[in-house]
Structure 1
């Protein structure tokens, strides 16, 4: 039994605000409880002697002990009702009542008081503004929804009550069954992470699905989901995709790593599967709740219809799966067993006159092949084929070989009996072959999440105090921004930078240049001028004897462009050979839910145009950093494409990890760009730096 037993398996339930008034939420919840729940139900209402035949008590403290309280009283008395539940020794509370933080102002203050009450009494609290909770094993329908779902192994959480009622109504027409259902509401106390942890430990929950608009604590969710998805698959629809985070950001990294990229990265690292629609969500759930993942990604397709076979093959090509290449023995056996007109390569086309025996033989041979991990059986209706018989053959062969098989019996009414047979055996059937392949793909993704082992992030020997003192310079800067004058921040964390310095007069510029072998690059340093190249604020290949004059020229250009700009000086920096190297970008952006996000990709002046980047939630391991490098489309450039000498990828991976440690160590860093980070055969060099600091967190 889990920590939330009283929520999902209560011995008794009180309805605070129960009433028999027609059309009321209090009546609906009481009636729903009476329909299925076998334990005591205690209506609480000082204005009623009874509700729907049940004796009322004026206060929950006046009645018998209960495990779970459902609160449906008006918002101005709901907090006191929760306190009374705590005084009565209740363990869990579901607050149905709305009028809290979703209304702002007084509602938000009311929700704070509700949270405080729950903390004081150590209550497991769902809501407020919740549809309620259901638990089919307990016969518990503590919602004001119209239906109790069939019992099954899917547990559902949702930030939308309407989503739950619509899904359960739709599921009632099909073959989906549910174990627990929770409407999260405002998530004042318990949230998606708590439910994930609870259901992940529940051996009777085969798959967790959900609809979310936000995640309260992204870092905690990722940490929990990583553990859960090693045993239990999790599939979510994440709604509310927005570019607002990117629009509000001021740096390249901020524009790239907006809110949606944060969710994409965080959920991916956690092993959580994303669904773009309700259909995708429950297509995946049906496969995951009935079948074990295949041992390999090779798929065999058996069909009596050429066109649907091609569609299935295309769908496999669009997934992480692959069309299995049959072993020679399998190919020979298929050629001997099938008619001459049949296609015995993958996909296997048993042709339109195939009966059940031919399907069975083809499927048996395919599943016997060591290169086949799973199979899709696609069939169009014919006069010589009974779908019920084909369903029995599929179930028989699937059980015999222990490999997942999903079907696409295309048709309408004639598929109903076959679907029932398949469903009893845990074999999902989909009208569309692409949906069948998506089911297998969900199984493969779960296998990958289950097998994934993430090492602990590496901790480097760094100079934190030096870094802190550099970040403190932002206190006196407009917009709390720092630039190349703070390159020693990177050096404090072991990130290589070219020799050079920021100077404030021509003579100092000449002295720095004299200590650098060869010509130098000179850049105006001003927090008010972002695109320095556009105003002539950068000069490349400056000889030592020209450095002093170039200093004066750069300052003059900056003054002419923006007379009121703050000019901190000029950076004098050793030149880096870009011909033999690749310009990348490495940055970080702090997301409100997930914390620091790392961005790596193709850099330089086209970074936002090309959008070739990978994003991860920090901190990350070396394996995750290497995944980022391999994930971008420009990765071949780093590995020596078209005769180029390969870059030192190990140095890139280490630099990503060092920046991960920096932004994890200092939550005050809101945004940071190293653009470009030049990656060459001899290592990396951070050429430019730009960051924004939340000085209140220093």
Structure 2
């Protein structure tokens, strides 16, 4: 409760100068003066906001539970030492540049630090306001790695009418992490939706988002590109083909969260989710303008929503169109109640999951004051309809603020000034994935890791490979009983094509062997029967260990052109066969598997089992960093992998050393 409802707080660096951080923090702290003891510390002992101050924490009769550090970095060590000496248990580190030795002293004393370099914390439920800026109480929980991005989100939330339930700026996360701040929102009663801005993802982030989902609190994530979940240098095609945002999106799908591109999009979506997740992607459009209705439909389709034909539209006013979109054709002006009637027809018809009302509604009372009360009454009816039907209703109004607009927002119906924002929010909401089932990996083979293609074949014994022999001399090649044509490979090299270490369609293996050994030197080579089946599709199946999110699995168009086509799908590992089948269906090249232009369908059942087992193997084997099968040739009669690569992970000793260095 230190950072949500402390019994007492002290602002060190409190100031009477409105341009100073210490002024804003002191003013905010005093808003909770009726709930907790608030102490203001000013080194000159000057009054702040008409309140007396003390020069140091040691002048207080008892130790404050939470101390806000709003002094220059050079003064922080002395303040922290004094605070720990008197028994302070928590710090909010507004100041940037706090020395690592100071942070270590806080940890060693068993105290906690939020930040440093953070904007502070706000909790509407407990009147805790230890942050720069103003906050409107509401239902959106905000956890942000950037204080200013978080403040922008909070401001937009106030404008949208949903407000903020709790705001936590985690800053540099030297002690308290974003994952901890998220977990703290699971039991926070005021919070119904959580907005998160993160630039990096530490351990526990996915578990925290999953816990919020389980508590019925959807998570909306805002992040940035290449700096997110920064990848290790790509050692395989799998590493090169999985971007950081691919993995973030996979994590969102696993936990039932959704990623958005901007702070405005985050708040727009949060306003939709504040009343619950839409039941589906079917949208009905009502407009008092044919043009605006048509634009809304085009945008809805582009956002991934469906605009169904309506079979039952009884109850619409005379002259209104009876298709989707519904054009009121002047009926709204004749009787404002027709707006509510049209929404009711769609909401109760059972053919749509969401309704968009687009156009002039919300402007009548502002432009003609005598209509204000009637328009507000219709707005209240629309809110009541949305609550009773369970259908999500979103309004696009040509006026951003009016009595009717405020009434809609107060009743839980989001209002947007532009149709593109209204429809984009519904599109994001419709893709808010349900959590996939937790998957317990099947027992993976405990074969110790050995380098090379032959060892990879042995470790991945659930995969079918072509018949092959290890050869080290020309004489061994001459004795082979394999059937040509052949593939000849250098066993020990990972990227064989780049090194000229693989030759296919070999008809004279002895000559090919001598030529390759002369170039690459002595070693173990693999002579392998080529897969000459017709009607095969080449894929890549890979799994790697992402340093932020753990094991991930990838499937995509394979072969030497895998990175050219970049037709891939990524999920967190492990995945079930059903989830693997869904991954294949999302590939652009998926039609090739079901029989393209009269070709026979591939054995997808066998293929999804291989994908699932590759994902399970990496998830169950922390000693492995990457697994790659490329290409995997799948045809009507089964799956053959014609190359495999396994890369080891850190040993237990290396992991322990890495953890020691980080700490």
Give the deviation of 1:269 after TM superposition.
2.0
Deviates most, 126-135 or 587-596: 587-596
Given candidates 307, 310, 314, the residue that maps to 2:294 is 310
Name 2:56's counterpart in structure 1. 58
Distance 1:396 1:439 in 2: 21
Tell me what 1:10 maps to. Answer: 6
Counterpart of 1:378 in structure 2 is 358
Q: Given the alignment of the two structures, is residue 547 of structure 1 paired with residue 509 of structure 2, yes or no?
A: yes
Supply the distance in 1 between the matched residues of 2:468 and 2:487 (Cα, whole angstroms): 9
The change in CA–CA distance for 1:540 and 1:65 in structure 2 (over 3 A counts) is: same
Say if 1:259 and 1:591, in contact at 8 Å, map to a contact too.
Answer: no
Alpha-carbon separation, structure 1, partners of 2:607 and 2:76: 55
Residue 222 (str. 1) matches residue 206 (str. 2): yes
Alignment deviations for residues 336-375 of structure 1 (CA, whole Å, 9 cap, x no partner): x4434x3201111111353323333322222221222221
Secondary structure of the 1:94 match is: strand
Can you list the C-alpha shifts for 1:602-633, whole angstroms capped at 9, x where unaligned?
A: 10121111111111222333343333222211
Pairing 1:652-691 to 2, within 5 Å after superposition: 652-691=607-646
What residue is the counterpart of 2:97 in the other structure?
99
**C-alpha offsets along residues 75-129 of structure 1, whole Å, 9 cap, x if unaligned?**
45645644654554444321122114xxxxxx4x43xx51x44444443431111
Asked if 1:202 is matched to 2:188, the reply is yes
Which of 10, 24, 30 pairs up with 2:26? 30
Note if contact 2:356-2:393 (Cα within 8 Å) is conserved in structure 1.
yes
Task: Give the unaligned 5+ runs of structure 1.
Answer: 101-106, 474-482, 560-564
* Matches for 1:342-361 after TM superposition, within 5 Å: 342-354=320-332, 355-361=335-341
Q: Does 1:324 align with 2:308?
A: yes
> Residue 419 of structure 2 is aligned with which of 433, 438, 450?
433
Equivalent position to 2:386, from 386, 398, 401: 398
The CA distance in 2 between the partners of 1:361 and 1:46, in whole Å, is: 65
2:659 aligned residue: none
**TM-score, structure 2 as length reference:** 0.88
Contact 1:458/1:621 (8 A) holds in 2:
no
- Render the CA deviation track for 1:8-51: whole Å, top value 9, x for unaligned: 11221022344556744334322331245422112346663865
Alignment partners' CA distance in 2, 1:594 and 1:455: 15
Q: Which residue, 332, 335, 339 being the options, matches 2:318? A: 339
User: How far apart are residue 663 of structure 1 and its match?
Assistant: 2.4
Q: Distance in 2 between matches of 1:395 and 1:695?
A: 56
SS in 1 for 2:184: helix
Residue 330 of structure 2 aligns to a residue whose secondary structure is coil
- Per the alignment, residue 349 of structure 2 pairs with 369
Q: Is 2:562 aligned against 1:584?
A: no
The residue aligned with 2:126 is 138
Label 1:454 to 1:247 Cα distance change in 2 as closer, same or farther (>3 A).
closer
- Residues 119 and 644 of structure 1, relative CA distance in 2, 3 Å threshold: farther
Partners in 2 of 1:396 and 1:20 — Cα distance? 48
User: Is contact 2:253-2:436 (8 Å) kept?
Assistant: no
- Residues 7 and 124, structure 1, Cα contact 8 Å, conserved in 2: no
Alpha-carbon shift at residue 271 of structure 1 (Å): 1.8
Change (3 A) 1:567 1:691: farther
Deviation at residue 678 of structure 1 after TM alignment: 1.6
SS at match of 1:236: strand
1:604 maps to 2:550? no
Q: Secondary structure at the match of 1:310?
A: helix
- TM-aligned CA deviation for residue 60 of structure 1: 5.2
Q: Given that residues 45 and 59 in structure 1 are in contact (C-alpha distance below 8 angstroms), is that contact kept between their aligned partners in structure 2?
A: no
**How far off is 1:254 after superposition?**
1.5
Is 1:635 the equivalent of 2:614? no
Q: Deviations over 1:360-397 (max 9, x none)?
A: 33222222212222211112367998654542342243
Which one of the candidate residues 269, 286, 308 is aligned to 2:254? Answer: 269
Match of 1:42 in 2: 39
Alpha-carbon contact 2:444-2:616 (below 8 Å) kept:
no
Match of 1:521 among 470, 487, 494: 487
Structure 2 gap ranges (5+): 655-663
Cα distance in 2 for partners of 1:400, 1:258 equals 43
State TM-score, norm by structure 1.
0.84
1:586–1:674 Cα contact (<8 Å) kept: yes
State the match for 1:104 in structure 2. none
Q: Secondary structure at the match of 1:129?
A: coil
> Higher mean Cα deviation, 154-163 or 119-128?
119-128
Q: Distance in 2 between matches of 1:603 and 1:174?
A: 46
Asked if the contact 1:46/1:59 (under 8 Å) is kept, the reply is no
Q: Once superposed, what is the RMSD of the aligned Cα atoms?
A: 3.0
Which residue in the other structure is 2:165 paired with?
179
Give the distance between the partners of 1:675 and 1:30, measured in 2 at CA. Answer: 61
* Alignment deviations for residues 436-457 of structure 1 (CA, whole Å, 9 cap, x no partner): 22333344344x43xx341323
**How far apart are 1:422 and its partner, in Å?**
0.5
Query: Residue 360 of structure 1: SS of its match in structure 2?
Result: helix
Give, in whole Å, the separation in 2 of the partners of 1:622 and 1:88. Answer: 59
Q: Distance in 2 between matches of 1:627 and 1:455?
A: 16
What are the residue-to-residue correspondences of 1:116-135 with 2, within 5 Å? Answer: 116-135=104-123
Output one character per residue of 1:639-685: Cα deviation in whole Å (capped at 9) or x when no partner: 33433333222322222222223323444544443110122233322
Instruction: Report the equivalent of 1:531.
Output: 497
Pairwise CA distance, 1:518? 5.0
The equivalent position to 1:69 in structure 2, one of 67, 70, 73, is 67
Cα displacement (A) at 1:322: 1.8
Secondary structure of the 2:264 match is helix
**Conserved? CA contact 2:539–2:632, under 8 Å:** yes
Compared with structure 1, are the counterparts of its residues 185 and 227 closer, same or farther at alpha carbon in structure 2 (3 Å cutoff)? same
Provide the rounded CA distance (Å) in 2 between the counterparts of 1:680 and 1:246. Answer: 34
* Structure with the largest fraction of helix: 1
CA contact (8 A) 1:639 1:646 kept: yes
The CA deviation at 1:294 is 3.5
**Structure 1 residue 208: deviation in Å?**
0.6
State the alpha-carbon separation in 1 of the partners of residues 548 and 176 from structure 2. 16
User: Is contact 2:57–2:83 with CA below 8 Å preserved after alignment?
Assistant: no
- The answer as to 2:437 corresponding to 1:454 is yes
Return the match for 2:457 from 479, 483, 488: 488
Could you say if the C-alpha distance between residues 121 and 535 of structure 1 is closer, same or farther in structure 2, counting changes exceeding 3 Å? closer
